[in-house]
Amino acid sequence: MPFSRDQFLTVFAAYNHDIWPMQAVLFFLAIAVIATAVENRRASMMILAALWAWCGIAYHWMEFTRVNPAAWAFGFVFLAGAALLLRQPAEFVDVPPVRLTVGGAFIAYALIVYPLIGGIAGHAYPQSATFGAPCPLTIFTLGILMLLKPPLPWVPALPAILWAIIATAAIFQFGMIEDIALPLAAATYVALLLHDHGVRVTVRFREVRHA
């Protein structure tokens, strides 16, 4: 890492200071994503895309670039994620109960459990990743995408999975134990993807055999 743990936490402090009181707005936008998803409305993906664009610009470009030049590229990843989410249909129907439970658990973790664990780990506000910062947003996003009608889409999830791979290092190097759900959410989503598309391949193979 080209920066220290103290520099990393200082970025969060600067970000939280500079965006105040947007933290509350971002949290309520997350609630709006959930509410519109329950109603199976297109607005859910639009709001989620706006959150990704915010993170790319307000966090990565405006703050994280101060200590890590790679944050310019990270910002583009999040803007690409926003564009892909805008193209994703909001089809929150026919979701298996197990996926509702798993996806809901990751959503709850990102909004409620994440800051609690961060506080226990010594990352108290303002040196904390409030919702809208990359890691809690990514966990939340993967949870939301798990609630889409099977088979799950893989393209809109790519930026989130990529960020999970990149950011997992912070768990071990900087003691960001609240991020432990990040690789778990990504691994769970990939497992569901493989299951969905594996089932589709099997069904098509059987259809060809019996044709």
Q: Evaluate the omega torsion of the peptide bond into residue 21 and state whether it is cis, within 30 degrees of 0.
A: yes
CA distance 135 to 179: 7
Average pLDDT, the chain: 93
Secondary-structure percent of the chain, ordered helix, strand, coil, rounded to 5:
75, 0, 25
Q: What is the mean pLDDT of residues 172-194?
A: 95
Alpha-helical regions (H) of 20-167: 22-38, 43-54, 71-87, 97-108, 114-120, 134-145, 158-167
pLDDT value of residue 210: 52
On the question of pLDDT at 208 being above 50, the answer is: no
pLDDT value of residue 153: 94
pLDDT value of residue 3: 85
